[in-house]
Amino acid sequence: MTERADIFQLTDIRRTYKVGSELVHALDGVDLQIQEREFIAVIGTSGSGKSTLMHTLGFMDSPTSGTMIFEGNDVSAISRGQRAQLRASRIGFVFQAFNLLPRLTVLDNVLLPLTYSRRRVLDQQARGMEALERVGMAHRASHTPNQLSGGERQRVAIARALINEPRLILADEPTGNLDTKNRGRIMELFASLLDEGITLALVTHDNEVAEYAKRRIRMQDGLIVEDSAR
């Protein structure tokens, strides 16, 4: 069996918010190691800290304290600009509400991250179409999101997450707005991405969805209380 490299190494990560005069410990000393091509499901009740963990992993938020190593580099206290650069080039996001921009076509939505990654891509259109092919949505490239079903929109959102060839895709309740049939399709699509060397971490309330993951992390009160592999 080949040794898989670490993508993330989180040590004693804490994230504290001030709500009014009260301090909320959203992450209260999280230790976590994520390796490449892992498929992780983060589960837990509302307020357990799973979304904060995802935001931290996605460089949308920075920890109050603790050490965060990403691809061998200490990223615990990087600037907002550096975090944005990492989001653009190394991370893909998939949201529950799809979050496609309604005025842009499917293809333009998929191409949007290229605008911000500052990566020189010679044929952007071809790259976008390729990403749409991977999710089976190339035939709807010129449509707008409003013309698509929920399942189709989420496929487009996945294509958008894939366009910059990220190391890690973070999905926040990606099947929350989908019916059972589409849920299965999306999860199979996610599972197929592992073969392409992508690491997946998704937040879900749904145990059936969590079943697709090889590793399950349960959070409670800002701590990882269960970390099990199948």
Partner 1 sequence: MNPLADIYTGGRNGFSEVWANKVRSLLSMSGIILGVAALVAMVGIVQGMLSNMRDSFERGGGILKLEVHSQEAPEAQQHIAGISPGMTWRDITAIQDSTPLAAYLTPIVDMNWERFIANGRREGALLHGITPDFISIQNRSIEYGRFISDTDIAYKSPVIVIGSHIRQRLFRDTENAVGKQLRIRGQVYTIVGQFENMDNSVAGQKRFSWENRYNYIPATTAMSRYKGNDEVNRIEILAGRVEELPDLIEQIENTLTQTHRGIKDFEIRTQEENLKEMQKLEHSFTYSLGGIAGISLLVGGIGIMNVMLASVSERIREIGVRKAIGARSHDIFLQFLAEAVVISVVGGLMGLALSVGLLGLARDIVPNGQAINIVPVSAMIYGFLFSTGIGLASGIYPAIRASRLDPIEALRYE
Q: How many CB atoms lie within 10 A of CB 224?
A: 21
Least spacing, CB of residue 103 vs partner 1, in Å: 5
The DSSP code for 138 is G
Q: Exactly one of 38, 61, 152, 173 binds partner 1 (CB under 8 A); which one? A: 61
Q: Exactly one of 23, 101, 126, 225 binds partner 1 (CB under 8 A); which one? A: 101
**Secondary structure of 107-161 in HEC code, one letter for each residue:** HHHHHHHHHHHCCCCCCHHHHHHHHHHHCCCHHHCCCCHHHCCHHHHHHHHHHHH
Q: Exactly one of 93, 107, 154, 178 binds partner 1 (CB under 8 A); which one? A: 93
Output phi, psi for 225, to 5 deg: -105, -15
Residue 17 in contact with partner 1, rule: CB under 8 A: no
Residue 44 in contact with partner 1, rule: CB under 8 A: no
Least spacing, CB of residue 229 vs partner 1, in Å: 29
Least spacing, CB of residue 113 vs partner 1, in Å: 4
**Residues paired with residue 216 on neighbouring β-strands, in sequence order:** 41, 228
Residue 118 in contact with partner 1, rule: CB under 8 A: yes
* Nearest-angstrom CA–CA distance, 17 and 20: 9
The DSSP code for 221 is T
Residue 152 in contact with partner 1, rule: CB under 8 A: no
Q: Which is nearer to partner 1, 1 or 122 (CB)?
A: 122
Residue 87 in contact with partner 1, rule: CB under 8 A: yes
Determine how β-strand 73-74 pairs with β-strand 65-70: antiparallel
Site for partner 1, rule CB under 8 A: 55, 58, 60-61, 80-81, 84-85, 87-89, 93, 95, 99, 101, 103, 112-113, 115-118, 160, 164
